[in-house]
Amino acid sequence: MWGQHTCLMDNELAIAARGLRKAYGKNVAVAGVDLEVRRGEVFALLGPNGAGKTTTVEILEGYRRRDAGEVSVLGSDPTAPAANWRNRIGIVLQGVGEFDELNVSELVHHFAGFYADADDPEKVIARVGLAGKARARTHTLSGGQKRRLDVALGIIGRPELLFLDEPTTGFDPEARREFWQLIRDLAAAGTTIVLTTHYLDEAEALADRVGVIAGGRLIEVAAPEHLGNRQQAHATVSWRTPEGRSESTESATPTELVTELAARFGGEVPGLTVTRPTLEDVYLRMIGHR
């Protein structure tokens, strides 16, 4: 069965996993996950704490050994990769505290020395929006600037595949949206990105597809707008009556209902709203929350 996918994996998939399992004693963290990530896409892995996200990603990165299953990441098994495999992978670390006394330029140049074909450090610094901070010591950077530096260190080796773990935790809204644009730019340049996040709006803004994992199992993989048949869900239409009361109803044909309401009110419908379930609504239902 695995052999039948070899050509597809090499040509179209950055990641392919079949029957991925990992347990810690009696605690099964990953329980038979099948996962595919296409080359060039942004793939978001969603799930509550303890769902198996981190363990799955660490296995794909080659930092944790699986108990069972088969995995190919850029054509190699992460437990015994090809000689240059590490140079093709980028991992955004959660901080660079041990380098606090170096400035941004010194640190990026330092990391460039780890790679045989590193990108130009000064160009990478500019690419992540830190050209104006190149001579600033890392401990003087804001939270958003430090995260940009983390990305610079993750991409200095020109990775084909970039892993981002909770990249905007603690960001203010403006910094988050600036960071989102950086991720879009990387994806537009052809980098495959695997993103884990607790922010559903982040997954919706960035991801081509999302996978929801809970209890160590991958529940569903789909485009954000299609997850949980979201695009087919009934819409909630709300309005105010002439007496000022709020009314609402669910409808499979909201346009038809709004047309009827407009005729009833002779034009504009007071307080009219039409909403469908958000990605967060669908996600919470999938993982068992009410």
Residue 262, CA distances (Å) to 39, 239, 267 in order: 48, 11, 5
Q: What is the pLDDT of residue 82?
A: 86
Q: What is the pLDDT of residue 1?
A: 39
Q: What is the pLDDT of residue 110?
A: 94
In the chain, where are the structural domains located? 39-62+84-223, 233-286
8 Å CB contact between 151 and 195: no
> What is the per-residue pLDDT across 201-258, written as a single tens digit (0 to 9) for each?
999 999 999 999 999 999 999 999 888 887 778 888 999 998 889 999 988 888 999 9
In single-letter form, the type of residue at position 65 comes to: R
Q: What is the pLDDT of residue 223?
A: 93
For the ranges 8-22, 121-135, 260-274, the lowest mean pLDDT is seen at: 8-22
- Answer whether residue 80 shows pLDDT above 60: yes
Superfamily in which the 39-62+84-223 domain is placed by CATH: P-loop containing nucleotide triphosphate hydrolases (3.40.50.300)
> CA–CA separation, 65 vs 38, rounded Å?
23
Write down the mean pLDDT value for the chain: 88
Q: What is the C-alpha radius of gyration for the chain, rounded to an integer number of angstroms?
A: 23
- Answer whether residue 7 shows pLDDT above 80: no
Report the Cα–Cα distance between both ends of the chain, in Å, rounded.
39
For the ranges 92-96, 97-101, 276-280, the lowest mean pLDDT is seen at: 92-96
Identify which of 144, 111, 142 has the alpha carbon closest to the alpha carbon of residue 128. Answer: 144
